[in-house]
């Protein structure tokens, strides 16, 4: 499967951390979206075997998920009938496969949290950076944890994507702040292109 990939970084001190400042997240999300639109994307290809393997680690094990990913990516007719569980698993599979391809992250080092969110866990997954040298060096970290939030939107409307970015940042800061790292994996579609952007939050 082919997609376009890009990444941006923001410093933690740009984000509000007081309750009376939470309304600023929408404004910051707008700034991030502007940065993403100006950022160059590069072509990336995910081998079907890696994609299939990554589905094993998603929250829901769904039969035929790789076929559904292609429907999702290329807007085939069946995509609109996908359940929330299917779309959630698709975005997780793509994100985990991307970490594996770009940073050589072992699937076994990605700890998913989504199935225990009702216990108060906010992030979707976590990676121990001390175990992943390439990823750690890539984001300029010496150690710590990387908390992951995964969001996808096939709706191209700007306000819809802004809302997803703002809510993801707000949620991930609850577990990341002050000393760890965060990333929002944002998967969108533009025309016939599937795009993935990693928004890194650094302390």
What pTM does this model have?
A: 0.89
Q: Report pLDDT for 122.
A: 72
Instruction: Give one DSSP letter per residue of the chain, joined into a string.
Output: -EEEEEEEEEEGGGS--SGGGGGGHHHHHHHHHHHHHHS--EEEE--HHHHHHHGGGSSS--TTHHHHHHHHHTT-GGGGG--HHHHHHHHHHHHHHHHHHHH---GGGEEE-GGGGGGT--SSEEEEGGG-HHHHHHTT-SS-EEEEEEEEE----HHHHHHHHHHHHHHHHHHHTTTSEEEEEEEEEETTEEEEEEEEEE-
Report the chain's mean pLDDT, rounded to a whole number: 84
Domain ranges of the chain: 2-202
Q: Considering only 92-106, 126-140, 142-156, which range has the smallest mean pLDDT? A: 142-156
- Nearest residue to 188 via CA among 90, 51, 66: 90
| C-beta of residue 177 within 8 angstroms of C-beta of residue 166 | no
- Average pLDDT for 39-49: 92
- Write the pLDDT tens digit of every residue in 55-104: 888 876 666 666 666 666 665 554 544 545 567 788 889 999 999 999 99
For residue 144, how many C-alpha atoms fall within 13 Å in the half-sphere facing its CB? Answer: 19
CB proximity list for 168: less than 8 A, separation 6 or greater? 149, 151, 184, 186
Phi, psi (5° rounding) for residue 83?
Answer: -75, 170
- Band of the pLDDT at 129, cuts 50, 70, 90? very high
Q: Considering only 20-34, 93-107, 125-139, which range has the smallest mean pLDDT? A: 20-34
């Amino acid at each position: 499967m082919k997609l376009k990939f890009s990444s941006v970084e923001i410093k933690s001190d740009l984000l509000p951390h007081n309750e009376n400042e939470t309304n600023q997240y929408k404004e910051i999300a707008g700034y991030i979206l502007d940065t993403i639109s100006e950022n160059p994307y590069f072509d990336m290809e995910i081998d079907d075997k890696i994609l299939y393997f990554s589905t094993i680690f998603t929250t829901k094990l769904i039969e035929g998920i790789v076929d559904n990913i292609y429907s999702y990516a290329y807007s085939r007719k069946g995509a609109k009938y996908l359940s929330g569980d299917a779309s959630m698993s698709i975005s997780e599979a793509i994100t985990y496969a991307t970490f594996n391809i770009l940073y050589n992250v072992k699937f076994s080092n990605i700890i998913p949290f989504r199935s225990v969110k009702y216990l108060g866990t906010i992030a979707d997954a976590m990676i121990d950076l001390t175990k992943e040298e390439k990823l750690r060096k890539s984001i300029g970290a010496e150690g710590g944890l990387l908390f992951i939030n995964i969001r996808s939107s096939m709706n191209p409307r700007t306000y819809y994507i802004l809302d997803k970015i703002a809510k993801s940042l707000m949620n991930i800061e609850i577990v990341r702040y002050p000393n760890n790292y965060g990333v929002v994996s944002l998967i969108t579609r533009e025309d016939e292109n599937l795009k993935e952007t990693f928004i890194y939050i650094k302390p």
